[in-house]
Structure 1
Amino acid sequence: MSEDTLGPWVPERPEDVAEVFAQADFPWWIAGGYAIELAVGHELRPHSDLDVLVLRRDQTLVRGFLADWDLYVADPPGQGKLRPWHPGEVLQPSLHDVWCRRTPKAPWSVQLMLDEAEGTQWVSRRAPAIRRPIDQLGRTSETGIPYLAPEVQLFYKAKATREKDATDFEAVLPLLDAPARAWLADAIRVIVPGHPWLGRLLPVSRR
């Protein structure tokens, strides 16, 4: 969606988001490029937005927690259209992208992503066969900020890889241990079987 038609973005910093969500009674994780930076421990590049992932089943809690914010849902997703997320409204599975700003006159600053879960498992909305225990979905930075595990974030970035995604991949790849690489490779093969990252993730015997 275009900033020109929907208003400007000035993304929050991860530490500011952590302050906002400090008392949240639901799990949440910094996502996107900022998650990669939290993993590597330093800045890599400029960011046009800041993503926060929450579980769809917690959306009522999230909506109530951000009751003082101005919240708009992308409906339909990816078509450049936003509409208010009304208090008490339950967003259906086809809706998973929420733009957030502190007031109606403020710039957009946080993008909420709603993702699926079943019991104790996170379930990819792109491919339900791809799952992971929720308690293994994220990590915590040295400053106490929860963020998506880098292998999970790279899975999100693999579907339509851009130059910035390649930058993130190169930066965080040395930090991925063998189980993380294997999980990511298996997940990528489901959505993009010929992805060039596979050759970097797998030992020769598994290619």
Structure 2
Amino acid sequence: MTLARLSLTDFRNHAAAEMAAGPGLVALHGDNGAGKTNILEAISLLAPGRGLRRAALPDMVRDGATGGFAVFSEVSAGDDLAPVALGTGIEPAHPGRRIVRINGAAAAATALGEWLAILWLTPAMDRLFVETAGNRRRFLDRLVLALDPRHAQHGNRYEAALRARGKLLADLANADAQWLTSLEAQLAEHGAAIDAARQATLAALSAELAGQPDAPFARPVLTLVDSEGAVRDAPW
């Protein structure tokens, strides 16, 4: 799928903007402060997650606007197929709740991953490989999501089960043992699916890199450390 049309309403510094993309690569250019990054952020909202800047939804509304904001797009799979309409935004009555529509019908944000695969690497992420493992996992999960839209669902359910288990363990004396067992089963199920998707993505990337011709740049080696094995085999 390719992004053929983008429309913004009261998003960041854009009161109203309409853009249509031709075939091939697209480059945005303009003066500082013109709103180029804001356009990229709007596009990033057409995928599951919090977007390029991970900003709060109300912060994306244009200063002075009286309503919410809207991002509308049409994605195309070719001349023989009808375009698909993807839209997201917020309403004034519910500024903290994201609305998603696919061909006019309400949908969950995770459903966006079935239509567009979006990945970004920005200058603000230049410390990705020297900061926390959590930041690297989030970047890896964005890669995985581009290949497997179900990855977000497993991640959301895993996090929900983890939070529920934490609340139970905070009052262990009164915890429901059956409910705790159920949560552990959910964590195992979704955790295994998350790990399998991550491993499959890294295997696909490694195979692609191995098939590239030799170049003057070093070829990266991609691995995902098994934390359980790392602890088991640690010298202590």
TM-score bracket, normalised by the shorter chain, equals 0.3 to 0.5
TM-score in terms of structure 1 length: 0.33
> Which of 1 and 2 has greater Rg?
2
TM-score in terms of structure 2 length: 0.30
Identify, as 1 or 2, the structure richer in helix. Answer: 2
More relative contact order in 1 or in 2 (CA 8 Å, sep 6+)?
A: 1
